[in-house]
Amino acid sequence: MPPSLQLDKLADQSIPELIGQLSTMHSGQAGSLQGAIEAAHRQAIQCLIEEKLTATHIKALNELNESINNLNSSTTKLTKVGWVLTALITLASVLVPLYLKK
């Protein structure tokens, strides 16, 4: 019989380590209890790999979302600064000629 699967230890492994673990599993016992246990172990490791990939994907999406929000905030601030500068330049272009006429 294959050794019992220790999910806690496997969950601590990296994706490449899990793939290595998966590649060492041989299924020469098709149709037997041992073969079924090995298949279940392979499936559990595949699930851990998918879970880790999903978590990585979600983390990347959250970081991307945060970056987009920061960029949006910066763009909004720059737009406001642009409007203030436009108003100041417009006001200066009106007031400077009036001041120079005096």
Task: Render pLDDT for 31-81 as a digit per residue (tens, 0 to 9).
Answer: 778 788 888 888 999 999 999 999 999 999 999 999 999 999 999 999 999
Specify the pLDDT at position 6.
82
Specify the pLDDT at position 3.
61
Q: Is residue 18 within 8 Å of residue 48, measured between CB atoms?
A: yes
Specify the pLDDT at position 40.
86
pLDDT band at 1 (very low <50, low <70, confident <90, very high): very low
- If one counts the domains in the chain, the total is 1
Q: Mind spelling out the 3-state secondary structure of 20-50?
A: HHHHCCCCCCCCCHHHHHHHHHHHHHHHHHH
Residue 78 lies in a domain: no
Residue 101 lies in a domain: no
Residue 1 lies in a domain: no
Of the CA atoms within 13 Å of residue 52, those in its CB half-sphere come to 16
List the domain range (segments joined by +) for residue 23.
7-73
Share of the chain above pLDDT 90, in %: 57
Average pLDDT value for the chain: 88
Q: How far is CA 88 from CA 13, 83, 92, in A?
A: 60, 9, 6
Residues 90, 10: Cα–Cα separation, whole Å: 67
Residue 43 lies in a domain: yes
Instruction: Enter the tokens of residue 4.
Output: 């019992």
Residue 33 lies in a domain: yes
Residue 83 lies in a domain: no
Residues 33, 35: Cα–Cα separation, whole Å: 5
